[in-house]
Chain A
Amino acid sequence: DVVMTQSPLSLPVTLGQPASISCRSSQSLVYSDGNIYLNWFQQRPGQSPRRLIYKISNRDSGVPDRFSGSGSGTDFTLKISRVEAEDVGVYYCMQHTHWPWTFGQGTKVEIK
């Protein structure tokens, strides 16, 4: 199975400051069609996960532009340019290039 390793696992951030979460895969996520199926999800307290980013860097509809994704190969990053109170929650990277689809452990973002 592809292991997705996130860091840090806990991220205290000051409101208005940037935040960055790293995700590393144990093997290449390039699919046979040339795409890399790497997603980022946000799970607010008490809510279902919500996809923010697909195929490394594409924002889903309605996702604020302060969220951005980047990366290549086996290293990927989610950045929040200026953290707002509503960004508190757990963030997961996830790959669906290989079966079984796998998630990172999650990074808990909280306000300092």
Chain B
Amino acid sequence: EVQLVESGGGLVQPGGSLRLSCAASGFTFSYSWMNWVRQAPGRGLEWVANIKEDGSEKYYVDSVKGRFTISRDNAKNSLYLQMNSLRAEDTAVYYCVGGVEYWGQGTLVTVSS
């Protein structure tokens, strides 16, 4: 059974930082592109970032470039998202996505003073 378990969300003040983690199991993590997708409260889905199987390529949506960093540890079957200089508009549920088809349950990030 495929499992993606996100952690690290919470309440942070504007300008602060958070690091999200995702523990993957049940599929070949090291052979999969991995992604972060977010969903603001009551809104639609937005692709945030992704990373190639070996970490050699990374892509970001314009709104997070220079602030967020995606990384992975294939030895630990884990995906990360370092989020700096957080803004109110970054408030959302962040989903870890394996390939395109495997989704975690999400972790809520709230940016507010």
Chain A residues packing against B (C-beta within 8 Å) = 39, 41, 43, 48-51, 54, 60, 92, 94, 96, 99-106
Q: Say whether B28 faces chain A, with CB atoms less than 8 Å apart.
A: no
Q: Which of A48, A99, A103 contacts B44 (CB 8 A)?
A: A103
Bound CA–CA A16/B8 (angstroms): 43
| Chain B residues with a Cβ closer than 8 Å to the other chain, count | 16
23 intermolecular pairs with C-beta atoms under 8 Å apart: A39-B100, A48-B95, A48-B103, A48-B104, A48-B106, A49-B45, A49-B103, A50-B103, A51-B100, A60-B101, A92-B44, A92-B45, A94-B45, A94-B100, A100-B47, A100-B61, A101-B47, A101-B50, A102-B47, A103-B46, A103-B47, A104-B44, A105-B44
Pairwise interchain contact B59-A100, C-beta atoms closer than 8 A? yes
A-B contact count (CB 8 A): 39
B21 to chain A, nearest CB (A): 17
Most chain A beta-carbon contacts within 10 A, residue among B61, B62, B105? B61
Residues of A contacting B62 in the complex (Cβ-Cβ under 8 angstroms): 100
B106 to chain A, nearest CB (A): 6
Whether A54 contacts B101 in the complex (CB less than 8 A), given A100-B59, A100-B61, comes out as yes
Pairwise interchain contact A54-B103, C-beta atoms closer than 8 A? no
Pairwise interchain contact A54-B61, C-beta atoms closer than 8 A? no
Residues of B contacting A54 in the complex (Cβ-Cβ under 8 angstroms): 100-101
Residues of A contacting B101 in the complex (Cβ-Cβ under 8 angstroms): 51, 54, 60
Pairwise interchain contact A99-B46, C-beta atoms closer than 8 A? no
Residues of B contacting A50 in the complex (Cβ-Cβ under 8 angstroms): 103
Whether A96 contacts B100 in the complex (CB less than 8 A), given A48-B95, A49-B45, A103-B45, comes out as yes
Bound CA–CA A43/B103 (angstroms): 11
Bound CA–CA A104/B101 (angstroms): 17
